[in-house]
Amino acid sequence: MTIAVDFDGTIVTHEYPKIGQEIPFAIATLKRLQSENECKLILWSVRSGKLLDEAVEYCRIKGLEFYAVNKDFPEEVYDKASNRKVNADIYIDDRNVGGLPDWGVIYAMIKGKTRPIYDTQYIKPKPKNIIIRFGEWLAKR
């Protein structure tokens, strides 16, 4: 399994271009997934150049190393014609619909121990006419 993970707002608090504070359990969770041979981690960030190098070094110092950074595999050469979106099975990003879940929830979702917290379902719209709504309410009693 390949997991692409964002840096700012996902591993650390969003203080770009500075490096923010580590989000609780982010690095520990990613290291645990790696140690269980569950995944290849790809750092997938808007950062580039020196700012990207700083993010990679921050993670390395904390004991987290990535299979690849902003590319599908380590040997890939990035050019302007390349697609910036990496090929991953799972994307962990603070900008997803609903925001970033707690890292414990993320771990459980990846391990299949819990369902996604954002379940989709169709909700029938309520009639705008108050008399119809009142009649439906009476029918339920």
Q: Which domains are assigned to the chain?
A: 2-140 (3.40.50.1000)
Please state the φ and ψ torsions of residue 12, each to the nearest 5 degrees. Answer: -125, 160
DSSP state, 8?
Answer: B
Encode the chain (141 residues) as per-residue pLDDT tens digits.
Answer: 899 999 999 999 999 999 999 999 999 999 999 998 778 999 999 998 999 999 999 999 999 999 999 888 777 776 666 667 788 889 999 988 778 888 988 898 888 866 655 555 555 665 566 666 677 777 877
User: What is the bridge-based pairing of β-strands 40-43 and 90-92?
Assistant: unpaired
